[in-house]
A and B are shown apart, each in its own frame.
Chain A
Amino acid sequence: MLDNLLLGFETALTLENVMWCFVGVLMGTVIGVLPGLGSTTGVAILLPLTLSLEPVTALIMLAGIYYGCQYGGTITSVLISTPGEASTVVTTLDGYQMARRGRAGAALAISAIGSFVAAIVSLALLMALAPPFADFALRFGPPEMLAVMVLGLATIVSFSGEDRVLGATMAVLGLVIAMVGVDTGSGVARYTFGSVDLLSGIPFVEVMIGLFAVGEVLHQIREGAAAPIRARFRELLISRDDLRRSVGPILRGSGLGFLFGCLPGAGSTLASFMAYGVEKRVSKHAEEFGSGAIEGVAAPESANNAAANANFVPTLTLGVPGGATTAVLLGAFTIYGIQPGPLLFDQQPELVWGLLASFFIGNLILLVLNLPLAPVFAQLLRVPYGYLYPLILFTSVLGAYAISNNMFSVWVVLVFGLIGYAMKRLGLPTAPLVLGLVLGPLFEKALVQTSSIGDGNLLIVFTRPLSLVVLVIAALLLFGPALVTRVRSARSRPPSTLVG
């Protein structure tokens, strides 16, 4: 273990590798900032440029892009309510509110610190315990994943504000949007109306750019020129109180992120939603959530970074990708002539440990880059909105086109921009819609697969122990608080007032 770690740092600390690691995390940050260009696209686009490098150097750089994106995506989520990735959607809820109140600097700083701590915690877990975690993840077959999706949908109650029915309705709308396209189970096209572009479904990233970036711009224009946010320098820095409040959320977020990241599929997005939901439950400042609670930034940001690292657990130990970006990275292994699989740790120790050691270096670089820059980025909000929004619209449309070289993406952005605007005007919550959209395809897949595995019987989710445990947790999350308040009020009030 120690020998391997030494070997890893020996590999990662050569001048060339440190330099490419730096290039990778810097590019990752930039790619994360640009709407539309997520880590998966970023790694895929830059992959061909790395073909002349040594495999380990190339992978260090590509992985740097991946986790660099997790830092970069936060910046736009906080400043202009435009998540660069699905996993930073939750950050907009409180991060953007903090920014509107002149606390963008603190929000960015805490997410950099949270991401860094999460990276170190998850790397330590990854290095020490990757094989047992991988075995644990393998036990999550379709019935267990179905239970996890139910758990994910149960977190909606944390995002619906006052009106839970409204929240649930928006989540269902998200599920419905997610149903468009070819159904993988039967190969039948649903709601595509003959359009080839719709065969692969309504593209998620474009929907997010529309709902968040374009929707917010339209909303601000309607509100009349938003005053530039002038914060005193002291308010831009993170305070001792902020740090104290964030310790718990960061650690819980890291743990949750790592757990969900090990599961193949929706890892980091689900992890960030769960982490936010949990904090809202346990926090003493629950009423501040949604209007700028620092815990609401610290927890999901730690969770998504921990999940990004945990994605490497199945990737490196089993040769099975943990998510979309690690799938591209696995493809890269093959292109460099390295066979990914369970023997990777034995056959390529220098590569694997060098890559893992580079994560420490890369995350350190990111912390050093992001922490001092947080107040600087926050100054961007001093720019009058009149200058800012053409820029946001421009990058949104450009980013949408860049994803697929296809005008269809641009139309999706514009249509969902209008929908996002309408939702803001009507006071409909956006987060449940996004959650439904993310979980929809996974939920459906798990449902159909569970039915096939159970030979048409869905009740196997109750007979398999792991899925039962997850379902019980989901039930507690949904009904637990209501039960607790019922019991409390029953005790405190005389029985006669209990009616209704």
Chain B
Amino acid sequence: MINRAGTRVALALACAGALTLAGCGGGSGGGGGDAAAGWQPDGDVTMVVPFAAGGGSDRAGRALASAIEAAAPDVSVTVENREGGSGAVGYSYFLARNGDAETLLATETALLALPASGNVEFTFEDFTPIMKIAEDFTLLVVPAAAPYQTCSDVVEAARGQRVVAGISGQTGLDNIVFSLTENHTGVQFDRVAFESGSELIAALLGGQIDIASLNPGEVVGQLESGDLRAVCAFSEKRYEQAALQNIPTATEQGIPVSFAQFRGVLAPGGISEEQQAFWIATMQKVIETPEYRSYVDEGYLQPITAAGPEFVDYLNSNRTLLEEALTS
């Protein structure tokens, strides 16, 4: 039994190895379709994920890796998790990859939040933004037994009594959304800092906190079961997914607050224009793949994309908003 199982695993590994080799062989010979692009990655591409396996960034990194492989058959992408320091370790490693166009990074809001916290040496200008692939907004979630039906109810309640909001960190998306809401309405929420979305869900279920602002992908299971209720979405427009389309936006309820965590792809700084052009062209194809579609659908994201210079513009305006929220 031991031997047989071992042989099968070994066989499977050998097959995988052979396939990879075959893929590489094809890569060096082919490339006719991409004649316009002057530069091609040579060999394996590494996708750095600055967070641990199993989390949201990891999911994005792995989905991107397979979508890039689908869009550019000559390229094979390996995912590498370099977690620690809320992303600081991974981004710092990436900073040292300057000029290496065969390393990418699955980026998100930590790219702006880390420099804003003042604990790291880099800003996004040290890297080459390739493409923003999606935006992940948050929902304001309350326990099923709570009296609130809309976000306005929550704000009204906060005028007269203490409303305890759980947040997942000072520079987290949820804290920013709460700060923006406070700036708009003049109310104050009391904060309790947790460390992850799942801790917030447990605290909501146990009645330890009154409200939390969570990514739909984190909380959709508890929403479907009816244990928690989403009272509004801090997004520009409503979600298209069936499970979420009945949730009104905060703007509809008179609170014009919308702030998304973005997800995207970053290349290291110091790469050539040709290399940048290759990755932008590849990512344009990526967002047409079924792999990308199912990632967006199953992760409850909104497919709002921005390539190259547009991504840079987005990062600039997003940084202003973030700093405004953090200093207020």
Q: Is B191 in contact with chain A by the CB < 8 A criterion?
A: yes
Residue from the list B52, B82, B224 in contact with A405, Cβ < 8 A: B82
> CB-CB < 8 A to B217: which residues of A?
334
> CB-CB < 8 A to B55: which residues of A?
331
Interface segment out of the listed B128-136, B195-203, B263-271 = B195-203
B85 touches A200 (CB 8 A): yes
> CB-CB < 8 A to A445: which residues of B?
193, 195
> CB-CB < 8 A to A185: which residues of B?
170, 193
State A200–B90 Cα separation when bound (angstroms).
11
Considering only residues 184-236 of chain B, those with a C-beta below 8 Å from chain A are 190-196, 198-199, 201-203, 205-209, 217, 220-222, 224-225, 227
Q: Is A224 in contact with chain B by the CB < 8 A criterion?
A: no
Q: Is B164 in contact with chain A by the CB < 8 A criterion?
A: yes
Which residue of chain B has the shortest Cβ distance to A134 in the bound complex?
A: B205
- Residue interface bits A396-411, CB-to-B below 8 A is 1, else 0: 0000000011100000
Which residue of chain B has the shortest Cβ distance to A19 in the bound complex?
A: B5
State A318–B169 Cα separation when bound (angstroms).
23
The distance from the CB of B254 to the nearest CB of chain A, in whole angstroms, is 29
Most buried by A among B89, B195, B196: B89
Chain B interface residue bracket vs A: 35 or more
Which residue of chain B has the shortest Cβ distance to A264 in the bound complex?
A: B202
A331 touches B193 (CB 8 A): no
> CB-CB < 8 A to A329: which residues of B?
54
A404 touches B84 (CB 8 A): yes
Q: Is B9 in contact with chain A by the CB < 8 A criterion?
A: yes
A196 touches B206 (CB 8 A): no
The distance from the CB of B58 to the nearest CB of chain A, in whole angstroms, is 7
Q: Is A173 in contact with chain B by the CB < 8 A criterion?
A: no
> CB-CB < 8 A to B22: which residues of A?
none
Which residue of chain B has the shortest Cβ distance to A189 in the bound complex?
A: B119
A23 touches B5 (CB 8 A): yes
Q: Is B237 in contact with chain A by the CB < 8 A criterion?
A: no
Interface segment out of the listed A86-94, A153-161, A243-251, A335-343 = A335-343
Provide the main secondary structure of the chain B interface. Answer: mixed
Q: Is B80 in contact with chain A by the CB < 8 A criterion?
A: yes
> CB-CB < 8 A to B220: which residues of A?
339, 341
Most buried by B among A45, A141, A181: A141
> CB-CB < 8 A to A318: which residues of B?
201-202, 205, 222, 227
State A452–B193 Cα separation when bound (angstroms).
8
State A181–B5 Cα separation when bound (angstroms).
44
Considering only residues 7-45 of chain B, those with a C-beta below 8 Å from chain A are 8-9
B62 touches A48 (CB 8 A): yes
- Residue interface bits A159-190, CB-to-B below 8 A is 1, else 0: 00000000000000000000001101111010
A328 touches B54 (CB 8 A): yes
State A452–B175 Cα separation when bound (angstroms).
15
> CB-CB < 8 A to B206: which residues of A?
138-141
B86 touches A335 (CB 8 A): no
Considering only residues 252-273 of chain A, those with a C-beta below 8 Å from chain B are 264
A320 touches B201 (CB 8 A): yes
Q: Is B246 in contact with chain A by the CB < 8 A criterion?
A: no
The distance from the CB of A347 to the nearest CB of chain B, in whole angstroms, is 9
B170 touches A186 (CB 8 A): yes
> CB-CB < 8 A to A453: which residues of B?
164, 192, 208-209
Q: Is A332 in contact with chain B by the CB < 8 A criterion?
A: yes
Q: Is A449 in contact with chain B by the CB < 8 A criterion?
A: yes
Residue from the list A26, A199, A320, A405 in contact with B198, Cβ < 8 A: A320
Q: Is A327 in contact with chain B by the CB < 8 A criterion?
A: yes
> CB-CB < 8 A to A23: which residues of B?
5, 9
Q: Is B1 in contact with chain A by the CB < 8 A criterion?
A: yes
Which residue of chain A has the shortest Cβ distance to B91 in the bound complex?
A: A196
State A182–B120 Cα separation when bound (angstroms).
11
Q: Is A319 in contact with chain B by the CB < 8 A criterion?
A: yes
Residue from the list A22, A45, A404, A448 in contact with B193, Cβ < 8 A: A448
State A143–B84 Cα separation when bound (angstroms).
28
> CB-CB < 8 A to A337: which residues of B?
298
State A335–B81 Cα separation when bound (angstroms).
16
Most buried by B among A19, A197, A445, A449: A449
The distance from the CB of B1 to the nearest CB of chain A, in whole angstroms, is 7
> CB-CB < 8 A to B202: which residues of A?
138, 264, 314, 318, 320
- Residue interface bits B85-97, CB-to-A below 8 A is 1, else 0: 1101100110000
Would A334 and B298 be within 8 Å (CB), given that A199-B85, A453-B208 are in contact?
Answer: yes
Most buried by A among B83, B205, B224: B205
Q: Is A3 in contact with chain B by the CB < 8 A criterion?
A: no
The distance from the CB of A144 to the nearest CB of chain B, in whole angstroms, is 9
State A318–B199 Cα separation when bound (angstroms).
11
The distance from the CB of A448 to the nearest CB of chain B, in whole angstroms, is 7
Residue from the list B5, B53, B120 in contact with A328, Cβ < 8 A: B53
> CB-CB < 8 A to A320: which residues of B?
198-199, 201-202, 205
A196 touches B89 (CB 8 A): yes
- Residue interface bits B41-73, CB-to-A below 8 A is 1, else 0: 000000000001111001100100000000000
Q: Is B177 in contact with chain A by the CB < 8 A criterion?
A: no
State A330–B196 Cα separation when bound (angstroms).
13
A339 touches B203 (CB 8 A): no
The distance from the CB of B243 to the nearest CB of chain A, in whole angstroms, is 9
The distance from the CB of B185 to the nearest CB of chain A, in whole angstroms, is 21
A196 touches B59 (CB 8 A): no
B203 touches A452 (CB 8 A): no
> CB-CB < 8 A to A196: which residues of B?
85, 88-89, 92, 120-121
> CB-CB < 8 A to B169: which residues of A?
184, 187
Which residue of chain B has the shortest Cβ distance to A20 in the bound complex?
A: B5
Q: Is B138 in contact with chain A by the CB < 8 A criterion?
A: no
Offer 20 A-B interface pairs, CB within 8 angstroms, sorted by A.
A26-B2, A44-B52, A45-B53, A182-B88, A187-B171, A189-B119, A200-B84, A200-B85, A318-B227, A319-B221, A327-B198, A331-B58, A334-B217, A334-B298, A334-B299, A341-B225, A342-B222, A343-B225, A405-B82, A453-B164
Knowing that A182-B86, A320-B199, A335-B59 touch, tell me 14 more A-B residue pairs with CB under 8 angstroms.
Answer: A47-B54, A48-B62, A138-B206, A140-B206, A187-B117, A197-B85, A199-B88, A319-B198, A320-B205, A334-B299, A337-B298, A341-B224, A404-B89, A406-B89
Sorted nearest first, the 5 A-B pairs with minimum C-beta distance are: A341-B221, A331-B54, A199-B85, A44-B53, A138-B206
